[in-house]
Amino acid sequence: MTSNTADAIPRNQPIAMPAPLQSFAQRLFSGRNVLVVSLVAILSFLAVYPLAMLLYGSLHSTPPGMAGEFNLNGYKSILNWSNTVVLLNTVAISLGKTIPSLTLAVLLAWIIARTDTPWRDKLEVLITLPFFIPPILTAMAWGMLGNPQVGLLNQVWKWATGATVSPINVYSYGGVIWHMMQYSTPFLFLFIVDIFRAMDPALEESSRMCGASRWRTFRLITLMLMLPALTNSFILSLIRGIESFESPLFFGTPAKIEVITTEIYNSINHRATPDYQYATALSFAIMVMMFLLVVWQWWLLKGRTFTTVTGKGYAPNIMKLGKWKWVTFSFCILFFVITVVLPVGQLLIGSFFKFFGFYSYDMLTTEHYVAVFNNAEVWRAMGNTMLLGLLGATAVMILGSIVAYVSVRTKWRGRRLIDGLAWLPWMMPGMVLGIGFLWAFAMLPGPIPIYGTIWALMLAYVALGTPISVRVMSSAYAQLSYDLEECSRVHGATFMQTMWRILIALAWPSFAVGWVLAFFGIMRELSASILLYSVGSEVLSVVLLRLWANGLAEQVSVIGLMMMLLVILFRWVQLKLIKSRISTL
């Protein structure tokens, strides 16, 4: 809106050019068009280019950067029985974790938003914490906790019952699903708790007045009103389950349970000669599947978002639980203990014993700390991760802020295109984007050496982070009324002054919250990093995986603990910001 008024002002410039041509030139080179065109260019490079290269690579017979011919061998080779099993595994595992996660998330969200359980605000922080821990850390911790031979839980169980058989084996379908649930439950919780809070309590009260009991009201009104949002969350979680890499890599592969992401990874990393065409064709196939899922989601939600549910803030109905409130309280604490205290405790224990699994007094040592602190590779990876985190999160947020502004606050032509492009990486699993970028970098004209530097990782991180940063900033802008901007313009501030003094001044807390989210995202990223790193540009998650593969679980624990400290520090800062300003996620 604001920019339209700027264009309405006639500009009298003494340039000898025919009037129509002059205005055309002005329009072409006006700041707005330059901005729109450069946004489209940047976003296309980040999303469309690797996607196009994915298609190109899937039809190309040789690895990236080598001369070859075009054929359909890649697609032919993915069509076989074992890949059908892989596909079924992927979907079954994702469904298997989404359904219990959603149930658990609804229950937890209800406890936090709608009951008088003590210390609900503190519990909420604890329940959501697992979402911010890099999955690779808990994967390794659970690898130690639930190892069928020497896992701590199995040892405790055997000690306590005198049994000789280990009850827990994380290297199984159950293990993969169990690990995924620890992430999807808090992720879904974050969505659902807000829906519970935003619902007009009168909608439920009127049902009570009509003669329906509390439980009937919950079934017929509350759940039904939440159904569109729950469907949305369900599909979102399903997609994330299909994209998931760490859980199947750690717990599936050792048990010969393969999913699409591990199949792609293995075909490049664990074969005598990496089969790029096969991996790329598989990646493109999974992209198509994601696309169909998203279309399905749109179709399901078409015209079914109830504005009453996403309305203004209400004081929600709080149910008095009486004595039961201690049951719900314990339930939340139990969730926190299992998802955070156990794995972090395992890392702590693991880091101080000579060999993990052999916990006796004389095995206590600090040698792993010494080893880690003397390991130059770890320090380099730490430096790389920090550098990428700081620069990447900043870049993602700046890009996201501009894209969100253009798509939410303006009526410019091309804003829908920009919005769509920025959203595109959202349905690309990190693994797929990684392969796309492998091709993309190889196909760049000669003197641009991106591959093999940390900038390769940076581009992938920016692409992966943009959809989230756009979302965070869009909701921040949406909360700011147009009047605030227009009032500033009316009172004499220019467009840029308004941006700086009003919009940025009001939206910066969201920016900071989004920045921390983006930083978390970069710190935890494994699936794209594992494909794009090279010697010298390793990041922490990659080094962790390598140490783990070499059997150095104890050193992994030390690094894991350091990352945990970082997670807790950043989460604390983020919560401080959210508390003092509007919450976005």
Partner 1 sequence: MSAIVLENISKFFGAAAAVDDVNLQVETGEFVTLLGPSGCGKTTTLRMVAGLEQNSTGRISIGGEVVSDAAQDFFIPPERRHLGMVFQSYAIWPHMTVFDNVAYPLRIRRKSAQEIKDRVERALKLVEMGRFADRPAPALSGGQQQRVAIARALVFEPRVLLLDEPLSNLDARLRTQTGDEFRQLQKRLGITSLYVTHDQGEAMALSDRVVVMSMGKILQVGPPEDIYQRPHSRAVAAFFGSPNFIEAEVKACRSDTGGTFVLELDGGWIGPCHSTHEIKPGNKAAVMVRPENMRLVSGDRGPSATGMAWKGIVKESIYRGAHRSVMLDTSAGNLNIDLTALENPAVGAQVDVFAAENSAWAVPI
Our CB check for partner 1 shows the closer of 204 and 263 to be 204
* From 218-226, 325-333, 488-496, 497-505, span contacting partner 1 (CB under 8 A): 218-226
Q: Does 106 bind partner 1 (CB under 8 A)?
A: no
Residue 13 phi/psi, 5-degree rounding, is -115, 130
Instruction: Give CA–CA dist 585/582, Å, rounded.
Output: 10
Helices 135-145 + 553-580 axis angle, to 10:
130
**If you search the block for the tokens 């690898």, which residue do you land on?**
143
* Structure token digits, residue 444: 């760049």
Q: Does 221 bind partner 1 (CB under 8 A)?
A: yes
In whole angstroms, the minimum distance from the beta carbon of 578 to partner 1 comes to 27
Of residues 12, 149, 273, 307, which one binds partner 1 by CB under 8 A? 307
Of residues 214, 270, 271, 416, which one binds partner 1 by CB under 8 A? 214
Instruction: Give CA–CA dist 243/262, Å, rounded.
Output: 10
In whole angstroms, the minimum distance from the beta carbon of 225 to partner 1 comes to 6
In whole angstroms, the minimum distance from the beta carbon of 227 to partner 1 comes to 7
Cross-strand bridge partners of residue 70: 60
Our CB check for partner 1 shows the closer of 116 and 486 to be 116
**If you search the block for the tokens 């994702």, which residue do you land on?**
94
Which among 313, 422, 570, 335 has a CA at the least distance from the CA of 45? 422
Q: Does 198 bind partner 1 (CB under 8 A)?
A: no
* From 216-224, 418-426, 435-443, 523-531, span contacting partner 1 (CB under 8 A): 216-224
Our CB check for partner 1 shows the closer of 125 and 318 to be 318
In whole angstroms, the minimum distance from the beta carbon of 301 to partner 1 comes to 13
Q: Does 227 bind partner 1 (CB under 8 A)?
A: yes
What sign results for the dihedral spanned by CA atoms 526, 258, 190, 338? Answer: negative
Q: Does 219 bind partner 1 (CB under 8 A)?
A: no
In whole angstroms, the minimum distance from the beta carbon of 290 to partner 1 comes to 29
Of residues 173, 218, 306, 495, which one binds partner 1 by CB under 8 A? 306
Which among 194, 173, 203 has a CA at the least distance from the CA of 105? 194
Do 51 and 287 touch, CB atoms closer than 8 A? yes
Of residues 23, 71, 269, 308, which one binds partner 1 by CB under 8 A? 308
Instruction: Give CA–CA dist 270/258, Å, rounded.
Output: 13
Of residues 80, 213, 497, 583, which one binds partner 1 by CB under 8 A? 213
Of residues 91, 107, 203, 442, which one binds partner 1 by CB under 8 A? 203
| Binding map of partner 1 across residues 2-31, x = CB under 8 A, - = no contact | ------------------------------
Q: Does 487 bind partner 1 (CB under 8 A)?
A: no
Q: Does 208 bind partner 1 (CB under 8 A)?
A: yes
Our CB check for partner 1 shows the closer of 202 and 487 to be 202
- Expressed in percent and rounded to 5, the helix, strand and coil fractions of the chain are 75, 0, 25
Torsion of CA 93, 94, 96, 100, to 10 degrees: 150
* From 171-179, 206-214, 332-340, 484-492, span contacting partner 1 (CB under 8 A): 206-214
Instruction: Give CA–CA dist 560/581, Å, rounded.
Output: 31
In whole angstroms, the minimum distance from the beta carbon of 216 to partner 1 comes to 7
Do 173 and 96 touch, CB atoms closer than 8 A? yes
**If you search the block for the tokens 């003669």, which residue do you land on?**
211
Q: Does 202 bind partner 1 (CB under 8 A)?
A: yes
Query: Can you give the C-alpha Rg of the chain in angstroms?
Result: 26
Determine which helix (DSSP H) or strand (DSSP E) holds 67, and give its type and residue range: none
Of residues 27, 76, 216, 413, which one binds partner 1 by CB under 8 A? 216
Residue 70 phi/psi, 5-degree rounding, is -95, 130
What residues line the site for partner 1 (CB under 8 A)?
Answer: 200, 202-203, 205-214, 216, 220-221, 224-225, 227, 306-309
